[in-house]
Amino acid sequence: MNATRPASHCAAEPTDQQVAHRTAQLNRRRALGVLLASTAAALQGGCASQRPAAPPPAPAAAVTYRDVGSVGLVAGVGTESQDIVAVTDAMVRDLLSSPFMAGLSRAPVILIDSERFSIEGQRINKALIIDRLRIHLQRASRGRLMFVSREAAADVATERDLKERRVTDAGTRNLGDKVAGLDYRMYGRMAVQDKRAGNGMVERYTQFSFELVDQQRSLSVWANSYEFQKAGRDDAVYR
């Protein structure tokens, strides 16, 4: 009997013709991939070239300092820096030259704060008016007027308590000195009235009034007002 030869499990090696065929297929696939990639890039480039170029960013506006007593680059019919300067300067001059000041034998104690100053018709920071009026009046009076600060009342009370309990020394002041009371208090009001035309024109009348009142007898010892009127087509936005 003839013995049966076991089957071989090794794959036959490819012939030279098969290797050449497979290499050709691989080269064709690579060429096709390169062609597709270049076509896609060309299409994207064409679309991008058709889009309008973005405008260059606008140059930042140069910031300039302006004289607070002059009209600014942004102006409206409301109360602005030049108006606050004019109002407070006029009130300081008039008060210091008034008969009230001429009749003083000693420096009175005065309170000027925003609690007794009202504003009607326009948004504005009251501190801009009150602080400038108080500071310039104090500087110009050269000791003829004394000003009390109620904003510091809580701090003063705390410090006095520390001294009285001998937590701190008395400093250079006498512990017997009391907190200053008021002789006079400044009252004020700002009021406006607007007129608007159909063509967009705006006209605004503004009035400031100030009054110094005796806190013992409720007498008005000095009063004055300041007023102006502005007109314009467009009103600025005040914040």
Contact call for residues 54 and 37 (beta carbons, < 8 A) = no
Residue 219 corresponds to which tokens in the numbers above? 């007498």
Rounded to whole angstroms, the Cα distance separating 88 from 130 reads 8
Average pLDDT of span 2-22: 58
Architecture of domain 81-232: 3-Layer(aba) Sandwich (3.40)
The helix, strand and coil proportions of the chain, stated in percent and rounded to the nearest 5, come to: 35, 20, 45
Band (pLDDT 50/70/90 cuts) for residue 18 is: low
Closest C-alpha among 210, 206, 214, 212 to residue 224: 210
Rounded to whole angstroms, the Cα distance separating 83 from 190 reads 12
Sorted by where each begins, the domain ranges of the chain are 81-232
Rounded to whole angstroms, the Cα distance separating 95 from 102 reads 10
pLDDT at 56: 74
pLDDT at 38: 67
Residues 100-139: pLDDT tens digits? Answer: 999 999 999 999 999 999 999 888 999 999 999 999 999 9
